[in-house]
């Protein structure tokens, strides 16, 4: 068998895998947006059947055989990247026994129920045994795949492939001191913000969301906007990437900024080179880079001092906004410190929330923290990082769904997204002529073209660190994010410049 | 291997097949209702991949082995029926080469384009070569599966399993003389009907459609109503059966009666015993019986003289209806002879339209009709059955999509549906106390319960003729339909009773 024919067989086989994986995405989207409530039992059976077919295809012994016939020296950059991704897929499928994956899936489903109940009853002890079982299962999972120093390396790699735990730790920990200091200064100022609370009809909020999505370049002939309890962007192919949002009738910010966040994700997916569809490269490179796109459009652009002028005008047209001038609006959408919940927190505290979870779950897996001490550790670390103790456990250690599903290693990708978005925005700002002026006039087209050229189109050809280094000219660090947050919030809160 | 363990393995394997087949249904529904237009290319790839997986599972050699280990004498009625259906599936999958199925699929896709173009240009000669290729492919298909006298037996069996061509022919041909006679008499009367043409806002039409669906017993927590160009009911499982409709802003009848038709289909699917889900028995028994449910609710119930009183009141509440009284409304919704198109035709001419196609396609496959004579045969038979010559070929031989897709044998199931609906309604009317009075008050619940009990719940446990004979106490014939049409339209048109 020649290397060429082995490569062809490999990619054809993986094409089947990726085609069926997209079917799972559509079924998930349907479940969250369209499916009638009594469809839930049979939908679970459909998804589980598809997962079975996918596992069978991924463990097809021929894949290993074909991989062994490849001659690396004859492959192009893109072909090498494909092989890297296939090897990764095949390795994971072979090294982790199907029975362990089933156990994890079962525990996740059970754990979700237990967590909901524990949160409702505000009792961490109810959830602790399920959490312990899940941590043990994921330790076993990490063992199957192998690691150098910490089992957490493996967990992180599921969401942020190609990045080392050391580099990610350095980036995240680089935020610790400067953000605690910045938050302290902000708290020293008791600034009164204008309130955006009011009555905003659903149809108007959705019409605004559609306007803004179109303005940002989201292509509705390759997507659609629907309602969902927890907004998300469907996976899919560039021709079919769907976004969802939610509506709070008292505050239009929720719908507006959730939509922009999802538009950021969708612009990335819609921009991946269509030639890569149904190949291992036709996907976002990592959750961190994915999140960088949603956060860049949500924060740097739409909560920034330029594009928010266009947004303000739109909101004024739709909702009036009373006698709140643009300055009041800008400050209101950037208020710091209103929430004890990660998902509702501002740009400054958000990353401290993530740091808290990252440090705790890393310690858990490195056996520097015992299960019975988690609640206490959560509370004291919240005090240390954010300056308060959670008012109750449902707003503390039980606030997030991730651990119940075994998604350890997911949290750091949120902050990586913020770090990357600051890096990318700084690079774009340098390379695009008068970006601020363009954004002030509501023109995001050149920025989108820049991201398409530098990030979106490549899919998974480069790993996340390779991609970021190519675009920014240096290995990414937390410094641009720190500088960005210091400058922005010093201006808003009238702090002495850092 | 014991019979018991062979049966268990068989049903487990088929469970996978039926689970994935339902995924195809959801993808089709999504494509017709929700999918953005640029999703079309990748959707085709997804469906084709799933069809490949299904074919692989259906041709798994172990199925035959397990079938050979079964001991018929130990199986229950339901188990025997399962084996019958599995045997049928496995036979079809083995006897027809995959390459032939692919050729048919390819020709269907090409044929659809050619047909659209030919219809647009009103030129049958453009379509004839594609039609010939498809007829030849389907002859080969029939040969693979084997038949006694006519290849058309095989084609019919794809849509109406368990019914013999001789019985179906007898039922359909039994309508010929009486309906031609009835139509002649109706044409003799030149009755002027009130017109329902007006301006009807889409939201109001959809609100009415939802009201009527709920009133008929459609369960929105196991389904939903959306718009589609050609209304259909999604396949699925009883917990998730979705209906679609369309809106003509000038005439509310289209939306109203399309919805009721689809509700009829959906009530059937929602009523199949949930214990049969994902088994070979968890489906409608045949297209004819399926259509009997849609036609019964659409015609016998909702265009009948009782339930239409409730509908009239609803329409009056929504649309006013001017000074048209109930009698005018009832006659308007039952006007005969307005259209040269099958899909828009009334209860009397509809079956003659079907008879035309049935006789032509049977003759084609029995080589009593040559391809070059089809257009001419269509026109002369239209004259013979319906009393007119099609004004142009797009309203004649090119009006239906079915032949371009190779769906020969499908048409007769439309009229079988009408025949069965008349049988079923007559039986229900005998067994339910004061059915007319209940329907006049808008109460369809007892009729639905009767259909659930006698038809819906059974899925495929009985074949269509077995089921009909069980319910009606005799082998079904066309007589109840003839009597029903004669009585109804004699009353409306003031004919001497037949």
Chain center to CA of A363: 22
Q: Does B32 touch chain A (CB under 8 A)?
A: no
Q: Which helix (H) or strand (E) holds A185?
A: helix A176-188
Mean pLDDT over the full length of chain B: 95
Residues of A in contact with B53 (CB under 8 A): 20, 53
Question: Which of the following is catalytic: B22, B107, B262, B423?
Answer: B262
What confidence score (pLDDT) does residue B166 get?
97
Residue A200 C-alpha from the chain's centroid:
28
What does the alpha-carbon distance between residue B455 and residue B448 come to, in Å, rounded to a whole number?
10
Place of tokens 């957490």: A152
**CATH numbers and ranges of domains, chain A:** 3-150 (1.20.58), 151-498 (1.10.1370.30)
| Cβ neighbours of B40 in A, within 8 Å | 239
Specify the pLDDT at position A61: 94
Give Cβ neighbours of residue B62 (< 8 Å, ≥ 6 apart).
Answer: B9, B13
CB contact under 8 A, B49 and A16: yes
Minimal Cβ distance to A49: which of B16, B36, B236: B16
pLDDT in tens, B169-193: 999 999 999 999 999 999 998 788 8
pLDDT at residue B244, rounded to an integer: 97
Query: Nearest by CB to A38, which of B38, B52, B239?
Result: B239
**Gap from A109 CA to chain B (nearest CA, Å):** 21
Residue range B104-130: mean pLDDT, rounded: 94
User: Quick check: helix, strand or coil at residue B273?
Assistant: coil
Nearest CA to A268 out of A431, A413, A428, A455 is that of A455
Distance from C-alpha of B454 to C-alpha of B426, rounded to nearest angstrom: 13
DSSP per-residue letters across A129-183:
HHHHHHHHHHHHHHHHH--SS-THHHHHHHHSTT--HHHHHHHHHTTHHHHHHHH
Q: Does A39 sit within 8 Å of B222, measured CB to CB?
A: yes
Over pLDDT 70: what percentage of chain B?
A: 99
Q: How many Å lie between the alpha carbon of B474 and the closest alpha carbon of chain A?
A: 37
What phi, psi does B243 have (nearest 5°)?
-110, 160
The answer to whether B45 faces chain A, any CB pair under 8 Å, is yes
A366 neighbors A424 (Cβ within 8 angstroms): no
For residue B30 the two structure tokens come to 């999504």
pLDDT for the residue B338: 67
- Give the model's confidence band at B87: pLDDT under 50 very low, under 70 low, under 90 confident, else very high: very high
Contact B42 A277 (CB under 8 A): yes
B444 torsion bin: left (phi>0), alpha (psi -120 to 50), beta (else): alpha
pLDDT of residue A102: 87
- Window 287-316 of B: residues touching A by CB (8 A cutoff) are none
Cα separation, B485 vs B498, whole angstroms:
10
The per-residue pLDDT for B339 is: 83
Closest chain A residue to the Cα of B23, Cα to Cα: A46
Cβ–Cβ contact B203 with A under 8 A: no
Helices (H), A201-286: 202-216, 252-270
Contacts of A49 in chain B (CB under 8 A): 16, 19-20, 23
- State pLDDT tens for residues B416-439: 999 999 999 999 999 999 999 999
Q: pLDDT tens for residues A293-302?
A: 999 999 999 9
For testing the chain B interface, which of A12, A13, A23 should be mutated: the one with the most B CBs within 10 Å? A23
Contacts for A464-471 with beta carbons within 8 Å, 24 or more apart? A464/A160, A464/A161, A464/A162, A464/A163, A464/A285, A464/A286, A464/A288, A464/A289, A464/A420, A465/A162, A465/A163, A465/A167, A466/A162, A467/A285, A467/A289, A468/A289, A468/A420, A468/A423, A468/A424, A471/A423, A471/A424, A471/A427
Across the interface, do A242 and B19 touch by the CB < 8 Å criterion? no
What number of other Cβ atoms are within 10 A of residue B268's Cβ? 27
Give yes or no for A242 touching B (CB within 8 A). yes
Find chain A residues with C-beta within 8 A of B237's C-beta: 39, 42
The DSSP line for B430-465 is HHSTTHHHHHHTT--HHHHHHHHHHTGGGTTSS-HH
Residues of B in contact with A210 (CB under 8 A): none
Q: In whole angstroms, what is the distance from residue A344 CA to residue B273 CA?
A: 45
Question: Mind listing the pLDDT tens digit for each residue in B281-330?
Answer: 999 999 999 999 999 999 999 999 999 999 999 999 999 988 889 999 99
Question: CB of B269 within 8 Å of any CB in chain A?
Answer: no
Q: Which chain A residues have a beta carbon less than 8 Å from that of B13?
A: none
CA distance B89 to B18: 11
ipTM associated with this complex: 0.91
What is the model's pLDDT at position A497? 62
What does each C-alpha distance from A496 to A179, A327, A366, B495 come to in angstroms? Answer: 15, 20, 40, 97
Length of chain A counted residue by residue: 498
Query: Where do runs of H (alpha helix) occur along A236-306?
Result: 252-270, 287-295
Question: What SS3 state is found at B233?
Answer: strand
Say whether A221 and B36 touch across the interface (CB within 8 A).
Answer: yes
Question: What Rg, from alpha-carbon coordinates, does chain B have?
Answer: 23
**Whether A43 contacts chain B with CB within 8 A:** yes
Residue B262 designated active-site: yes
Comparing alpha-carbon positions, the chain B residue that sits nearest to A41 is B239
pLDDT, residue A91, reads: 92
Nearest CA in chain A to B45: A19
Contacts 24+ apart (CB under 8 A), A121-130: A122/A392, A122/A393, A122/A394, A122/A398, A123/A393, A124/A374, A124/A375, A124/A393, A124/A397, A124/A398, A127/A398, A127/A404, A128/A371, A128/A372, A128/A374, A130/A404
- 10-residue mean pLDDT profile of chain A (498 residues): values are 94 93 94 93 90 92 96 93 94 91 90 94 96 97 97 98 97 98 92 89 97 98 96 92 97 96 98 94 97 98 98 96 92 89 94 98 97 96 96 96 96 98 98 98 98 98 97 97 98 83
* H helices, E strands: number in chain A: 21, 2
First-residue to last-residue Cα distance in chain A: 63
Parallel, antiparallel or unpaired: strands B225-227 and A225-227: unpaired
Task: Tell me whether residues B42 and A16 touch, CB distance under 8 A.
Answer: no
DSSP tag of B275: G
> What pLDDT is stored for residue B98 in this prediction?
87
> Catalytic residue among A262, A269, A361, A375, which?
A262
Locate A239 and state its tokens. 């021709």
* Rounded Cα distance, A70 and A72, in Å: 6
pLDDT tens digits along B194-218:
889 999 999 999 999 999 999 999 9
Q: Among B81, B148, B89, which Cα is nearest to B464's?
A: B81
Q: Choose among A38, A240, A242: nearest Cβ to B240.
A: A38
């Amino acid at each position: 068998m020649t290397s060429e024919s082995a490569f062809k067989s490999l990619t054809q086989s993986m094409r089947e895998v990726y085609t069926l994986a997209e079917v799972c995405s559509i079924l998930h989207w349907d479940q969250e947006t369209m499916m009638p409530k009594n469809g839930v039992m049979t939908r679970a059976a459909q998804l589980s059947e598809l997962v079975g077919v996918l596992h069978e295809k991924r463990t097809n012994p021929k894949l290993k055989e074909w991989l062994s016939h490849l001659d690396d020296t004859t492959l192009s950059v893109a072909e090498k990247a494909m092989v890297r991704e296939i090897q990764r897929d095949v390795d994971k499928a072979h090294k982790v026994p199907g029975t362990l994956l089933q156990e994890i899936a079962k525990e996740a489903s059970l754990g979700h129920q237990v967590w909901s109940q524990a949160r409702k009853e505000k009792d961490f002890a109810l959830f602790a045994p399920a959490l312990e079982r899940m941590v043990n299962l994921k330790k076993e999972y990490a063992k199957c795949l192998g690691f150098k120093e910490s089992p957490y390396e493996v967990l992180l790699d599921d969401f942020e492939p190609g990045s080392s735990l050391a580099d990610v730790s350095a980036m995240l920990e680089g935020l610790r001191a400067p953000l605690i200091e910045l938050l302290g200064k902000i708290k020293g100022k008791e600034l009164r913000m204008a309130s955006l609370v009011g009555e905003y009809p659903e149809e108007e909020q959705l019409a605004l969301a559609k306007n803004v999505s179109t303005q940002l370049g989201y292509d509705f002939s390759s997507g659609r906007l629907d309602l969902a309890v927890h907004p998300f962007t469907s996976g899919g192919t560039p021709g079919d990437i769907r976004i969802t949002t939610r509506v709070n009738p008292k505050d239009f910010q929720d719908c507006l900024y959730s939509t922009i966040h999802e538009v950021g994700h969708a612009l990335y997916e819609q921009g991946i080179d269509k030639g890569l569809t149904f190949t291992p490269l036709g996907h976002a490179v990592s959750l961190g880079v994915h999140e960088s796109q949603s956060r860049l459009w949500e924060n740097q652009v739409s909560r920034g001092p330029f594009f928010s002028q266009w947004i303000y005008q739109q909101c004024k047209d739709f909702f009036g906004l009373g006698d709140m001038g643009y300055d009041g609006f800008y400050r209101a959408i950037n208020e710091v410190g209103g929430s004890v919940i990660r998902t509702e927190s501002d740009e400054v505290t958000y990353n401290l929330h993530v740091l808290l979870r990252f440090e705790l779950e890393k310690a858990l897996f490195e056996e520097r923290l015992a299960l019975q001490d988690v609640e206490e550790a959560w509370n004291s670390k919240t005090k240390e990082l954010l300056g308060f103790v959670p008012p109750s456990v449902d707003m503390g250690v039980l606030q997030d769904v991730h651990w119940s599903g075994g998604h350890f290693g997911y949290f750091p990708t949120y902050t990586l997204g913020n770090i990357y978005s600051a890096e990318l925005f700084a690079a774009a700002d340098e390379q695009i002529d008068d970006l601020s002026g363009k954004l002030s006039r509501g023109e995001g087209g050149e920025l989108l073209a820049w991201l398409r050229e530098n990030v979106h189109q490549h899919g998974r050809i480069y790993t996340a660190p390779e991609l970021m280094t190519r675009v920014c000219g240096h290995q990414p660090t937390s410094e641009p994010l720190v500088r960005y947050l210091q400058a922005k919030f010093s201006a808003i809160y009238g702090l002495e410049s850092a």
